Amino acid sequence: MSAAPRRSLAVQGSLWLARRGRDFIGARRIELLEGIERSGSITRAARQVGLSYKAAWDTLDAMNNLAERPLLIRTAGGKRGGGSRLTDHGRELVRLYRLLESGYRRLLAQMQLQVHDFDQLSRLMGAIIMKTSARNQFRGKVKTIRKGAVNADVVMDLGDGLEIFANITNEAVRDLDLKPGREAVALIKASSVLLSPDAKLRISARNQLRGTVSKVIRGAVNTEVKIQLAGDRTLAAIVTNEAVDELHIVEAAACTALVKASHVLIAVND
């Protein structure tokens, strides 16, 4: 009896836009607005998305209350009957959401390619958190790609003499359509950065970025250290308080950030 196939991890999610701290627009609400625009009827649109008439009205009222301008124009019944249609602002909101959703789906597809085990999932989720906080994302251009049997070494040129080395799967290279000259973003999780005050340290980490400590933010257990790199770029690292003390990491001191190539993720805009 053959063993059951191993199920792979699936990356899933849905896009919501919030306003004033409250849920504003999601996929189902957009479908409701699109249905109204097509049919001219709240009743028919509600039926299409599986909502009761009252639930549809409540949803539309909630959206209108949060919107900058009205999303709907409603007309009372008469000889030609009543109806509803979207305002220009409502149509623009639908267009914006669908545009964002398209990019969001591409991001999920790119993430899926890099999720093959729990270690990679942990690194990936860390990169997402880092990106949300706008730390350690470096835009540049692909300089070279050297493919192996499974993985590829990708070198990105950030300008100002800075280069980032990444080791990703050949499948990811194909899906991202990476090639020399293409613009991309290198993502590095802050906790994946090692620090050394010794610029001559011999270590296997491909990325050795020299700079100056610009800020030291000490916590109860860990410390966030920000390194000022060439080209006015800043790299954040999370290290233990003990490491900061032992290495005498202080502001204005020279420091080298060390990052393994396998800890660098690459993203593209399209």
Q: Which residues contact 244 (CB under 8 A, 6 or more apart)?
A: 216, 218, 223, 225
Fold of 17-110: Arc Repressor Mutant, subunit A (1.10.10)
pLDDT tens-digit map of 1-55: 444 444 456 777 888 888 766 788 999 999 999 999 999 999 999 999 999 988 8
Give percent of the chain above pLDDT 70.
84
pLDDT tens-digit map of 104-138: 888 888 777 766 655 555 555 555 554 444 368 88
- Distance (Å, whole) CA 36 – CA 72: 9
Q: What is the pTM of this model?
A: 0.52
pLDDT tens-digit map of 172-217: 999 899 999 998 888 888 889 999 998 788 888 999 999 999 999 9
**C-alpha distances in angstroms, 25 versus 101, 193, 243?**
11, 37, 45
pLDDT at residue 126, rounded to an integer: 52
**So what CATH class is 118-267?**
mainly beta
Q: How many CB atoms lie within 10 A of CB 242?
A: 11
pLDDT at residue 90, rounded to an integer: 92
- Kindly list the domain boundaries of the chain, sorted by start residue: 17-110, 118-267
